[in-house]
Amino acid sequence: MHVSDQATWQTFEAEAMPHVDRLFRLAMWLERNRAEAEDLVQETLAQALQSFHRYTPGTNCRAWLITILQHVRANRRRALGRAPVDSDVEGRVANTIPFVPPVPEVLTDEDLLAALDSISPQYQEVILLCDVQEMTYKEIAAALDIPIGTVMSRLHRGRELLRVALTQCGTGSAARGTR
C-alpha cells in the first residue's frame, strides 16, 4: 500500500468516521429500512474516501458527508425509478397554517419523532439537517441542491407544521408507535 494512501486513509478515518452514527441516523430516518440505510452510509463513505482530496480540512466534514449522502440517495432514487420529492407541496400548504400553536408542556421523545414523522418528507429533511445535524442554510442548500430561499421557506413552514403536529399529539399517546 502506498504511503500517501495510508496517510489519506488515516486523515479520512479521523475526520469522517466519527460521523458514522449521525449519518446512519439520518439515513435510517430517510430510508426507513436498516439494510438500505447501511448501504447508503457505506456508499456515501466510499465515495467520500475516493473524493477526499476535494474536502477542505477545517470545514464542516459532517455537512460535506451529508451532501454526498443526499446526492447518492438522489441518484439511487432516480436509478430505481422512484418519484422525486413533490416540490409543489410548499405552495399548497403555504396558506394553510392559521397560527402557530404553543409547544405542549409535556412531550416525550416519541411524541417529537412521531410529530416530525407526520409532516411532509421535504420539511422533515430540512428540519433534520438544520436542527439535528446543525448545518447552515448554505450547507443545506448545497446538500439538497435547492436555493437558500427554499431552505428558509421550508424550514419556516416545516416548523409551523411540526408545532401543529405536536399539539395534535397532545401528551403524545395518540401518536406513539407510528414509527
Partner 1 sequence: MTVTCREARELADPFLSDQLLVETTNEIVRHLETCAACRDEFAARRTLRTRLQSAVAASPALAPRPGFAADLTARLRPAAAPGAVITRRAWIESWWAAAAALLALLGGGLFARDTVRRSRLATLAANASGDHQNCAITFNLRERPIPLEDAARRYDPAYASLATLDPPAGLPGGAVDVLDRHSCVFEERRFGHVVFRYEGHVVSLLVTSGSGAGSTPALVTTDTPYRVASFDAGSHAVFVVSDLPERDVLGVAQALAAPVARRLSTS
Q: Which residues contact 114 (CB under 8 A, 6 or more apart)?
A: 165, 169, 172, 175, 176, 178, 179
Q: Which of residues 123-142 bind partner 1 (CB under 8 A)?
A: 127-128, 130-132, 134, 136-137
CB of 32 to partner 1, least distance (A): 10
User: Residues 75, 82, 92, 103: which binds partner 1 (CB under 8 A)?
Assistant: 103
Binding-site size for partner 1 (CB under 8 A) equals: 51
Considering beta carbons, is residue 16 or 67 the nearer one to partner 1?
16
* Given 6, 51, 96, 173, the residue binding partner 1 (CB under 8 A): 6
Candidates 31-39, 66-74, 80-88, 91-99; binding stretch for partner 1 (CB under 8 A): 31-39
Q: Judge contact between 4 and 41, C-beta under 8 A.
A: no
Q: Tell me: does residue 80 bind partner 1 (CB under 8 A).
A: no
Three-state secondary structure readout of 99-153: CCCCCCCCCCHHHHHHHHHHCCHHHHHHHHHHHHCCCCHHHHHHHHCCCHHHHHH
